[in-house]
Amino acid sequence: MMLPDWMPAAAAAARTLQASTRGARGARHSVYVVLLHDRSSPERRGLYVGQTSRDPDWRFDQHKLGYKASGAVRRFGVQLLPALVDHLNPMQQWESLEIEAALADAFRAAGVPWVEGGH
C-alpha cells in the first residue's frame, strides 16, 4: 500500500516532539500510531494515536480483535507506524498521556485529514 502524500509532513511533525522521561526509571509506557484506511472511500486515510503500558504490537492486535478497542482502529486500522514514535518510547505514564494528545494535535496541524485518538 502506498503511503499518503501527507505522511512526510506527519513524520516531520512527530519529530518535533520529545519525551523528557524517555528511558528514565519507571518508563514503561509508549505512544503508538496506526495508519487508518477506509476501504469504502479509497482516498480516506488517517492516523490513530494511542498510548499503552503494553507492547504496541500487542495493543494493535487487541484493537483488531475488539478488546478495549477504538472503533476506528478495529474497522480501519491497517498497520502500526513505529517509525513515527520510536524516538519517544518508552516514557513514564504521565508523559505518555501528554505526548498522545500533542501528537494528535501535531498531526492535525500538519494537514493529516483524519486523526483519531489522542485523548
- The string of pLDDT tens digits covering residues 4-16 is 999 999 999 999 9
**pTM for this structure?**
0.95
Which grid cell is 106? 501535531
Residue 66: predicted pLDDT: 87
- CB atoms closer than 10 angstroms to residue 48: 25
Which grid cell is 105? 494535535
Mean pLDDT of 61-84: 93
* CA dist., res. 37 & res. 46, Å (int): 7
Which grid cell is 89? 518510547
* CA dist., res. 116 & res. 9, Å (int): 17
**What is the tens place of the pLDDT at every residue in 67-77?**
888 889 999 99
